[in-house]
Structure 1
């Protein structure tokens, strides 16, 4: 499943292609991909057709496009009395969802699910296509609600204090300029759990998935089972700083692609998997220890029906680690 850097790669790509363009026509090829839109196909199309994409916003792994009206013929109620958008097109990528910008001359993909035809713009393709082989993802129209802290809903070109209803329950992510370490640390110290479980808790900090949690913990020299109520402030600052940096590094490489189904809006895969230090390196020597002349082999352990990868030398398991 795409993690935060992969979704941010898609967001950045979409912004330059769709922001400010009007959705002129909508084709639902497979209704299963809009099953989260409870009012059905006609309502889905009616909300989109004639609306203008105001921006592309991300919080954690959630991605949405606020919709603005375009005057006569636009769906009713797409702006409030202050001129702010009230609804958004939400995109859930699931395991294999792709948002691709393509021209009408490009043949349809085998797993095309939804097609949006956009208003013309010089030199740009006019179709936004949602492709999904495994059909775990989907598109739906949702309400925008005020953020609980009055800050921006998420990372965007023109941030607004609005958030898609389905994302309102999750915390800010480390790449969000409004992320508060003080709030994160206060909440963290109240938890009695293991550090990696806390990093994966979207109500505490969003967007850190299994791969990047392992990478951040390796960089911070902390074991995933470290009890959160024993974590010193400097250690918590270090792991969040490393989580932020590893995701920025992944962004620079276009994301981490273990599955050929993950691509950005231009159809290109990311390459950060070639730079991983922990995840998937069971049985291989620890790069940091090897550089220091120490022989240590990376270890894989079961964790929450997944896997955790650590170095037993530079990430020793705490004596009181229970997770």
Structure 2
């Protein structure tokens, strides 16, 4: 599954191409990719045609495009964390990438991709591709229209160029992510201490902190020198801050590298793959030397453990498992 940095790479790419443009035509090539739109492909296309894209917003791994029918609705809201400007848009186009979904900007002259599912034609703009294409080989992802509702804390719904105090209804249940300027460490730590679970399980809880998936959880824990089974109710404030800072750092580094790509399906809007997998210190490195221990002339091999029907990677020397650990 693409994780937060991969989705943020897509968001940043889309903003420069689609913001302010009007959807002039919609072609649903495969109805399965709009199955989450309950009223069907015709309603999906009919409601999108003529709509103007205000922005591209992300919270955690959720990505949506607020839409308006009128240019007058595009007034900017206060981008601060306590924004209280009157929200204008009421509907957004939600993009769920699933396992293999891609949002690609293409010129009309470019041949259709093999797994093209939905085509959005956009209003003319100098030097910009004319189409936004949704491509999905495995068909676990999709597009659908969703309502925008006020955020619970009155702050922006997520990362955007012009933040509005609105959030896509399907994303309203998840917490802010560590890259969100409105993320509250105090609230995170307070809630973390009330959990009686292992640290990695807590980091993967999207209701506590969003956007940290399996790969970046392992990387953040390795960097913070903490074991995934560390009980959350024993975590000191400085340790919690250390692992959150590590998560921000590894995800920011992944953003700079274009995301983490283990196959050709994870691409940005221009079709390019990320390269952060070359910099991973723990994830996927079972049986290989721990780089930190090796630098200290210690011999230690990365270990893989079964974890929540997945795998967890850690160093048994610099990330010792606590005796009272919780999985």
TM-score, length basis structure 2: 0.95
C-alpha displacement of 1:289: 0.4
Match of 1:203 among 207, 213, 226: 207
Instruction: State how far apart, in whole Å, the 1-side matches of 2:30 and 2:135 are.
Output: 10
Is residue 233 from structure 1 mapped to residue 237 from structure 2 by the alignment? yes
Give structure 1 stretches of 5+ with no counterpart: 72-80
* SS state at 2:92 partner: strand
Match of 1:124 among 122, 128, 131: 128
Is residue 5 from structure 1 mapped to residue 44 from structure 2 by the alignment? no
C-alpha displacement of 1:82: 4.7
Q: Is the 8 A contact 1:65 1:90 kept in 2?
A: yes
Instruction: State how far apart, in whole Å, the 2-side matches of 1:205 and 1:190 are.
Output: 14
Q: Deviation string for 1:95-116 (max 9, x for gaps)? A: 0000000000000011000000
C-alpha displacement of 1:83: 6.0
The alignment yields a C-alpha RMSD, in angstroms, of: 1.4
Is residue 50 from structure 1 mapped to residue 54 from structure 2 by the alignment? no
C-alpha displacement of 1:322: 2.6
C-alpha displacement of 1:43: 1.1
Is residue 90 from structure 1 mapped to residue 91 from structure 2 by the alignment? no
* 1:187 corresponds to: 191
* 1:251 corresponds to: 255
Q: Is the 8 A contact 1:115 1:128 kept in 2?
A: yes
C-alpha displacement of 1:260: 1.0
* 1:25 corresponds to: 25
Q: Is the 8 A contact 2:14 2:56 kept in 1?
A: yes
Name segments (4+ residues, structure 1) moved above 6 Å.
Answer: none
* 1:138 corresponds to: 142
Q: Deviation string for 1:48-102 (max 9, x for gaps)? A: 100000000000000000001137xxxxxxxxx9561000000000000000000
Is residue 174 from structure 1 mapped to residue 178 from structure 2 by the alignment? yes
Q: Deviation string for 1:161-181 (max 9, x for gaps)? A: 000000000000000000000
* 1:35 corresponds to: 35
Q: Is the 8 A contact 1:223 1:318 kept in 2?
A: yes
* 1:67 corresponds to: 67
Instruction: State how far apart, in whole Å, the 2-side matches of 1:285 and 1:99 are.
Output: 37
Instruction: State how far apart, in whole Å, the 2-side matches of 1:82 and 1:235 are.
Output: 39
Q: Is the 8 A contact 1:50 1:70 kept in 2?
A: no
Give structure 2 stretches of 5+ with no counterpart: 72-84
Q: Is the 8 A contact 1:185 1:233 kept in 2?
A: yes
Q: Is the 8 A contact 2:87 2:165 kept in 1?
A: no
* 2:223 corresponds to: 219
Distance 1:243 1:83, change over 3 A: closer
Q: How many positions carry a matched residue from both structures?
A: 316
* 1:271 corresponds to: 275
* 1:308 corresponds to: 312
* SS state at 2:112 partner: coil
Instruction: State how far apart, in whole Å, the 1-side matches of 2:234 and 2:148 are.
Output: 38
